[in-house]
Structure 1
């Protein structure tokens, strides 16, 4: 190795951000192993690389002793004092033992070490970049698929989208562009592993943040999300500005904002409801698109009894209980839904003459 090699390390330091001294120390450590392996020796050695010229020297390190038990590790005090009269018992003597053809081994070892360190540094940079994007949306291109996962090219790294994280009946082919939610970033021995999802509720939340400027700016906030991917979702929103309609902001002019999200989610139905501090009002909104007559709140049980018009009962419950289930997940309250007739029979509640509760929500299909 020579000055060109040192200059190359300087270049790597400036472009890759890997310290030249760290690289040289790693090369020296690797050369010690290479020396012992190639020259079949167990002696204690030190490798020194000149930081200016790149010149490499190998030194055998021997302990000064009265009685030499192992000539590979020990040197007599008489022999040591022939080198330097000041040596005392217990001192370490270094004797140059650089082999004639060690340059070839050194060059090969240095290349391997530098390549490995550059790869590790690049992996570290990629990991640091993507750990900051955990719980965020990324867009990539489908590369390949096996029996368990789809592999997505994100530019500097390949991410994994498990088939279990796809929406029902969702299929992708090579070259398709995919938006997905990063659920986990792990630093493995093979480099960063990025796990994606198309079913996570966070995907819906991030899509709204991308499409609705009022959410991005913090004027409108998303308070809760409940999702059964590929079928139906509910999202509760609240405005910090009383003059801004949170539901209308999410729907957008002529429904364009929410329709963009529906299209991205392959037609998934989305109910946008207004969040409220009043539990009865919030629960009523969450049961959209069903109309609600009355909500009775039982704080101790964290349960609400909801009464709906007879003709709205099936809509309130939803197919296989989906609407009620999502409303409960969205609000965090147990919800018991009764029709007006059932409420009259079970609780003696008279049929309503005041009409339905006012609800602030919209359902997009």
Structure 2
């Protein structure tokens, strides 16, 4: 056992960079915990490993008494066999190494070494990746666990939870993948790196990587609103009047933004000129719709946007996506109102339309209004939208009543 232990200690010290002293301390503690019952009934015990020879010994701290010793005591006659000068009341270290201690210690030592290696590896991961949180890292897809993607980043494994994946994006083992490092968690038993491709910060870092003007600080990203896998709006401004921020992001012949959309699986990316005037900002954000006018309701923190009937569909966008993203981007509620040839404006606020759509959908699908609202908020506004959707996508909606969805789908399929 001594020679085997020395060999293991030397290997770990050289190959893994873990000091022998820290390993020895961990082994002593682990062996003592695992072997306490077989060593001695004394309450205070020590296990010592000689780092030079690998020899393992156990010791009990015993008080010297005249007679009738307890488990924590030793009679003076016995004590003087090893310590001739001992006196009553002294506490001596008395070796109590059991005969079968080598076998017990060997098994425990192996387990302790594995635990120590895992701990050291976690600490190395923390040291290696702590400064890279918020950055894009590249790895290889290894396997899938309960809908999560496990990724090999060479020096550590990472996990991309199902909610951090781009909707409908498919991966295969061996695929190279870019993702944003959200955090490093060394306290979990699984992969330590938590990554995402669905967060808006991933888009920001892609622009920073592709657009030199953003990397250099000449062009700034002022806001990002995103529905992963579908559409993203990015607001930009220039600190140099000679630089067009939108043109810089689009690139020559659209190459820069095309590289980003390719990385995002052809997710649509709209680049919006930022403006401190909230009215102009809203007009820019609602493109390609042409806006007639914008009124500001400071009390309700709402923008009343008037458009023609023809432009209304563009302003709302497919499944109200355009106006929803605009509202997220500028941080104001937006009400779209139709205005045709001096006719009385008709209130068509997005909030009212969504509530109406939810009520109608609840009645048509025979589901609760809560379930209907979740469906509408995720883009499934009509029965046809619901019927055409992939069932797994519907069931993945956070907070959805899966039983109601299954019953509704079964009724439609009959």
What TM-score, normalized to structure 1?
A: 0.82
The equivalent of 2:256 in structure 1 is 257
User: The residue matched to 1:48 in structure 2 has which SS?
Assistant: strand
**Residue deviations 1:134-191, cap 9 Å, x none?**
3332322222335522322222333333344433432222322222333444334424
Does the CA-based 8 Å contact 2:39-2:58 persist in structure 1?
A: no
Distance change (3 Å), C-alpha of 1:67 and 1:346: same
Q: Which runs of 5+ in 2 are unaligned?
A: 347-414
Q: Does 1:47 align with 2:47?
A: yes
**Range that drifts further, 327-336 or 296-305:** 296-305
Partner residue, 2:306: 307
- Once the two structures are overlaid, the 10-residue window that deviates more, 202-211 or 40-49, is 40-49
- Following superposition of structure 1 onto structure 2, how do residues 182-201 of structure 1 map, counting pairs within 5 Å? 182-201=181-200
**Mapping for residues 1-365 of structure 1, pairs under 5 Å:** 9=9, 12-13=12-13, 15-33=15-33, 35-37=35-37, 39=38, 41-43=40-42, 44-70=44-70, 72-81=71-80, 83-84=82-83, 86-99=85-98, 102-103=101-102, 105-341=104-340, 345-346=344-345
1: CA distance between counterparts of 2:77 and 2:191? 57
1:258 shift after superposition: 0.2
Cα separation, partners in 2 of 1:2 and 1:221, compared to 1, 3 Å: same
User: Which range moved further: 286-295 or 179-188?
Assistant: 179-188
Distance (Å, rounded) in 1 between the aligned partners of 2:36 and 2:144: 45
Contact 1:123 1:191 in 2 (8 A): no
Larger RCO (alpha carbons 8 Å, 6+ apart) = 1
Between stretches 78-87 and 258-267, larger displacement belongs to 78-87
Q: How many residues align?
A: 345
Change (3 A) 1:68 1:276: farther
Asked whether the 8 Å contact 1:215–1:222 carries over to 2, the reply is yes
Q: Unpaired runs of 5+ in structure 1?
A: 348-365
- Structure 1 residues 5 and 255, CA gap change in structure 2 (3 angstroms): same
2:39–2:96 CA contact under 8 A, matched in 1: no
| Contact 1:235–1:271 (8 Å) recurs in 2 | yes
Q: Compare the two structures and name the one with the higher strand fraction.
A: 1
How high is the TM-score relative to the length of structure 2?
A: 0.73
Would the alpha carbon gap of residues 261 and 42 (structure 1) be closer, same or farther in structure 2, given more than 3 Å must change? Answer: same
> 1:200: Cα distance to partner?
1.9
